[in-house]
Amino acid sequence: RGKLCTIYAPSSTKDLENCAPLIAKSDVVVLDWYLNIENKQQNADAEADVEAEEPRGIYTLELIKNIVEDATEKKLKLIIVYTGDGAKLYSITKDIHEAIATDANYTIDAKRCQVSSANVTILVRAKDNGEKDQLKYNQDLRSKIVKHEDLPDFITAEFARFVGGL
């Protein structure tokens, strides 16, 4: 479909640092909410141990902050957080907004699971787990499920909507 795609599965914090130049050049970045990063930091602090055991979102938020800092008015960025934690789409959206809320230019549209500014849009979407009744208790989130095979078309449509009018 005329896209150049790179899959990068970081396994350490050094890998995250190494992907920064690639991300800086990308128009669209798709991130998993849970990045299974090896935590080599030795710390006896009990709170740090708990955080290391459940690092969902920690590394993704850091990547998003770096992308936002790098995205000047001259760069357009679409970030899609693609997560298996479908029931947490609203809280993930809120966490992202809080992480970058130091910049007043970012607004949150919780209902759309979107955080955006004039040149950056962040969407939070759920991975389809193959179950017919996925998110049956959260009917309003069902429209935020994207099947893996539909992801390329979803990205194209969202990027076109994002840059529309340019």
> What are 81-123's pLDDT values in tens digits?
999 888 889 999 999 999 998 766 899 999 999 999 989 999 9
93 near 112, Cβ under 8 Å?
A: no
From CA 117, how far away is CA 99, in angstroms rounded?
14
Q: Taking residues 57-67, report their average pLDDT.
A: 91
Note the pLDDT of residue 33: 93
8-state DSSP, 110? G
Note the pLDDT of residue 55: 63
37 near 16, Cβ under 8 Å?
A: yes
Backbone angles phi, psi at 31, to 5 degrees: -120, 140
Say if residue 8's pLDDT is above 50: yes
Average pLDDT, the chain: 83
> pTM here?
0.85
Say if residue 42's pLDDT is above 50: no
* 154 burial via Cβ count (<10 Å: 0-12, 13-18, 19+): middle
Say if residue 43's pLDDT is above 50: no
Note the pLDDT of residue 52: 47
Tallying the residues shown for the chain, one arrives at: 166
Q: Taking residues 19-41, report their average pLDDT.
A: 84
Q: Which of 79, 91, 68 is closest to 141 using CA atoms?
A: 91
Q: How many CA atoms lie within 13 A of 41 on its CB side?
A: 14
Of these ranges, 30-39, 119-128, 131-140, the one predicted with the greatest mean pLDDT is 119-128
From CA 148, how far away is CA 137, in angstroms rounded?
22
Q: Taking residues 34-47, report their average pLDDT.
A: 60
Helix boundaries (H) for the chain: 13-18, 20-25, 46-53, 58-70, 89-100, 151-163
Note the pLDDT of residue 51: 45
- Between β-strands 107-109 and 77-83, what pairing exists: parallel, antiparallel or unpaired? unpaired
Note the pLDDT of residue 63: 92
Which residue is it, tokens 């050094």? 14
